[in-house]
Structure formats: C-alpha cells, structure tokens
Amino acid sequence: MKILVLHNLHRKGSSSGDDQVFKDEARLLEEHGYTVIRYTISNDSFDNAGVIGKIKACLGMLWSFKCYREVENIISKERPDIVHVHTFFPLMSPSVLYAAKRNGCKVVATLHDTRFICPCCTSLRGTTICNECGDGHYFRMFRYGCFKGSKIQSLIVAFIFKYHRIRRSFYKQIDKYICLNDNQIKLLEGIGFDKNKIVKKYNFVSDALPEINNGKSANLPERYVVFYGRIGEEKGIRVLMKAWEILDLPLVVMGSGPLEDEFKEWADKKNNVHFLGYTAHQECLKIVKNSEFVVFPSIWYEGCSMVQIETMSLGKVLVATNLGFSEEAIKEGYNGTKFELGDVEDFIRKIQHLWNMPEKLIEMGKNARKDFEDKYLPEDNYNQLMNIYKSVL
C-alpha cells in the first residue's frame, strides 16, 4: 500500500502535537513496510517571504493553486492508495482535498482540533469556550477579532471558511474523519457531518519508560509537581499561575511558547517555582518520572494530548481540566483527577489532596500505566489505522 501524507507544519521550534503525530504515524507505517510519500509546507515559508510573497500566501489560503498542482503531480507519478491529510490550514489550503478526490484517491483526515467547527481551531473566544461558528455564520469572527486578536485577519479567515462551507468542501471531499475524542464526534455530528464517516482513534507515543534514567536531576526538590508543554494561554498557564499564588508546593515547569517571558518573570519571584524553559526530551521525561504528578490545566478542547498520554506512559498521575480528551481519558480517583474549567479553587483542592496521599499516587500511577498499555501503544494504533484505510478502499 502507498500512502500520501499531507501536512502543514507549524513554525520551526514549535512543539505542536499534530506535527509530532504526522511524523510518528508516517514513521510507523514505514516500519511496517508501507511506502509513505510526504508532502509538507511550513509556516516558516510565510515568515520568510517578502511583501508580495505574503500577499500571495494569504490569497492561497482560500485556494492554493501551487499546492493543488504539486499534489496532483505527486498522485499522477506515485499513484497512492490513500491520501491522509493532517493539517491543511493555513498555507496548504483545502485545494489539496480537491486535488486528491479529482484524481481518484480516497481521502482520510485526522482532525487534530475543532477547525471544522471553529475556524480558529481552538473553540475559544478569548479565554471562553465558544462553538457558535458551527452554524456557518463565520463573519461574527470579525466582530470579536477571534483570529489572533485581529479583525482584519478574522475577516479573511471567515471568508475562506464561508466559501468552503458553501461548497461543502469538508463534507464532500473527505471519505473518513479520524476524531481523537468523543467531544469532537459530538460537535461534528451536531453540524451535519455524516456519522458513518467518523471514527475515533487516539494518538500514540513510544514507550519511553525502559529508557529513562532514574537518577535525580540536580537542583530540584525531593518532591515536586510538574507542568510541561506549550507556555500558552490555551494551555491554562494563567490558571497555573493563579493556583501557585496560593499553593506553597514545589512546581517544576518545562516548555516554551508565547507567554514564556511573562511566565519567567513571574516564576523568578517565586521560590517554589522552578522554570526550566525548553528541556531536551529525555531529560524532560526523567524529570516527569521523578515527580509526584503532572498538572494539565488546559482551557481548550485537547484532541488527544501527547503530553497526557506520555505522562501515563511514565506511570504518573494527571490533574487536568474536565474538558475534551481529559473528560474521557481520566477516570476520577483511578488514574488521575479532574477539576472544573475555570475553577481555580477546585484545582488547588485536587492538587493539595493528591500531594498529601503519596501511597495513593503510587496506586493511581500504576493504573495510568495500565491505561497507556491498553490504549496508546504504537502497535495498537497501527492496527486501527490499517482498519480505517481498508474501510475506505
């Protein structure tokens, strides 16, 4: 079987989950003997373009003739059995879906976010969950400046998605949607997507546990809580900061992102907060493995967070917002605990409760590890992916 995999990469240095899934799944398929043809475009190309190049790129977000031709040429040359689309926005554009379908290919799309409901992909208006644009009235985005806080950019994105809504591009040009959690499925079915074309498949991570050096990291407390990942608004960084204005427990934070400078300035004033910034992956995993538990106060719908399943692979407990993937992945008191979105006091209570129950943490950590082994191993993921491909051929 030949698989053509399409993905619009984030900027260089980004730790985006969909970039990681794209790379990991392509490698997994190759390890099983399949031919994988990768077609990618990076957001760096927009940053590095001149004024004229940026204007062309913006126009191409509606319909990229360049990407359409290149995908068409690849299909003509390689004759893939399946075209698997990960992320097409902004630069690749929905034109690649048409290039695949018009050339006789079956199209599978992994939905890493809620882009088909919310063109901003976050289902956030500011810091509030919002799915109003699921009705197709995207121009309300202009009123609120939903896309990157810019009314002009919001207007452009609204026009792009209105055009493709009218053409029903996302309804007709995709043969199978891979959703990452039940919430995504509910949202899609709510706006008229064919439930018979929707399937759920979690992400996976390789088992890193056997490779972790159990030695303690220097300059860290004996006991500590961890947050690691993108230092961004949607990941609940401000919720974390509010909680640790009250909590007197050691916190280790690893990652980078748009709020990194603000967070570092805040953390430097806190004796119990250790901000390590970007941390090499193996060192990061060792620090997580030696922690008491991991906090995950995200304020948006996580698809199937790589941080969360990686945490479970290490046998560590999660304290997470009761939202999106966490809602179904975390069983209360079994492999973690959940708190209500926006309820900082509840978040603090859950953290304090677990901190004072080290023996319970060991038991729950074993359950988290079992969940990982049952649901998120590469081989299981490969089998599911093959079944999805076969279902459309």
- The single residue listed with the structure tokens 């990991």 is 24
Tens-place pLDDT, residues 118-176: 999 999 999 999 999 999 999 999 999 999 899 999 999 999 999 999 999 999 999 99
The mean per-residue pLDDT over the stretch 60-82 comes to 97
Cα(82)–Cα(2) distance, integer angstroms = 7
* pLDDT value at residue 53: 85
pLDDT interval class at 187 (50, 70, 90): very high
CA dihedral 373, 26, 310, 127 (to 10 degrees): -130
* pLDDT value at residue 266: 98
* pLDDT value at residue 13: 61
The model's pTM is 0.94
The mean per-residue pLDDT over the stretch 6-25 comes to 87
Cβ neighbourhood burial of 291 (10 Å; 0-12, 13-18, 19+): buried
* pLDDT value at residue 218: 74
Say if residue 215's pLDDT is above 80.
no
Least confident of 24-28, 71-75, 164-168, 217-221: 217-221
Say if residue 47's pLDDT is above 90.
no
**CB half-sphere exposure, 312, CA atoms < 13 A:** 28
Mean pLDDT for the chain? 95
* pLDDT value at residue 331: 97
Say if residue 14's pLDDT is above 80.
no
* pLDDT value at residue 45: 85
Say if residue 288's pLDDT is above 90.
yes
Tens-place pLDDT, residues 303-362: 999 999 999 999 999 999 999 999 999 999 999 999 999 899 999 999 999 999 999 999
* pLDDT value at residue 15: 63
Cβ neighbourhood burial of 342 (10 Å; 0-12, 13-18, 19+): middle
- Residue from 245, 207, 251 nearest 227 by CA: 251
